[in-house]
Amino acid sequence: MNAEPAQPRDTGSRPRPPVGGADGRTLLVWDPAMLDYDFGPSHPLHPVRLALTMDLAGAAGLLDRPGLTVSSAALASDDLIELVHDPAYLRAVREASPGSATGARLAARFGLGSTDNPVFDRMHAAAALVTGGTLAAARAVWEGTHRHAVAIAGGLHHAMRGTASGFCVYNDPAVAIAWLLSAGAGRVAYIDVDVHHGDGVQAAFYDDPRVLTISLHQSGRTLFPGTGFPDEVGVGDAEGTAVNVALPPRTDDAGWLRAFSGVVPVLLRSFRPQVLVTQHGCDTHAFDPLADLRLSLEGQTASYAALHALAHEVCGGRWLACGGGGYALDAVVPRAWTQLLAIATHAPLDPARPLPPDWAAGAPAKVRAATGHDSVGAAGMPAAFGDGASARYHPWDAGEGDVDDPVDRAVAATRRAVLPLHGLDPLQDR
């Protein structure tokens, strides 16, 4: 998975957007106003994690790297958000306000006002700005001004057409994919490595053969949203373009990376997308308080590097990377997404490199000040960008793996359900 990127292959069978002088250029879409997407101090999805990520990326020197552009974005317009969401839902988001009886009654019909998705002031503007950031990243990659683009505040993958869900008001990755299709993309692949099933993006394109969605997540039998099983494969002409790997709790680096190797590369090479869109929820980490997988920073970074390499191999490097979940606010999220940005700027950080001392000393206090409580990392901030793990694994080769291993059983079930629909043999590696 850490091999050098292969040269892109032009099959001549599909239109290709211009890439011009974009080789090596990376866009980071960021605006401090994105911190206004804030459900309140006690909510798990606290924006302090984004502020700490940007602080760490700056302290590590990433924001000064040649070829990196940091740019803000405009609010996504209603017509673009409505590529995915129902207009009535947008009206509800605009009208809902804290303490308003009318707004509360309206919001209750649309998944708002719950513990997961409480109403906050200027909610539409905040969610539309996050969505606008991901749209700006998609536009940069498609139009060829940049080869890679990172929308660090994006990745809100649970929102459905007419409802908020799982801390997500607007589904920015789905909106970006829908925009890419409207701009002329014929095939887009979406890979979701969040610990939770990428259900909203899957639902948006469940009947669209132009979009391949692959989600690797903790099984819905043990975790929200309770979906994402191997038999969810898409419908009609899109059968086979929804792919789900439902992993057992306590899956570690070796199991997760083996699962990735058995599903993602073979399908991306078969599908040959023009653009790769990825969601990088880092709640797969062993420290995360809301889930039960056991990945390390090294394991997560290996997945980022593999997706970067695959973007170069299958779609000329056109890669849009979003953030996502992650609730170890200081100990995990900033390190994970700083590593993601480092890979997107073509120079991964040494996992043994010490964290900047001032950042490491101040991060727990910033979390405490923002949330009123200590985060997972407050009692023992990691010393380095990595965890000191090896992230070694045995890649999937052929057959159905070890029938006594629950991870192998999960991978084999997905391969049996999906690969034949692409004309591929699930008993073969290629």
Rg (CA), the chain: 20
DSSP string, 344-380: HTT-PPPTTSBPPHHHHHHHHHHHHHHHSS--TTTTS
Find where tokens 């009654």 sit: 105
Q: What type of residue sits at position 323? A: G
Residue 225 contacts residue 199 (beta carbons within 8 Å): yes
312 is catalytic: no
Catalytic residue among 158, 196, 197, 280: 158
Give the closest residue to 309 by CA, choosing from 282, 271, 337, 269.
269
**Residue 306 to residues 2, 120, 318: CA-CA distances in angstroms?**
6, 38, 14
Distance CA 75, CA 77 (A): 6
CA-nearest of 111, 123, 122 to 163 is 111
Q: What number of other Cβ atoms are within 10 A of residue 381's Cβ?
A: 17
Q: Report how far apart, in Å, the C-alpha atoms of 259 and of each of 104, 253, 263, 291, 340 are.
A: 43, 10, 7, 18, 20
Would the CA dihedral through 179, 183, 186, 190 be positive or negative? negative
> Which residues are catalytically annotated?
158
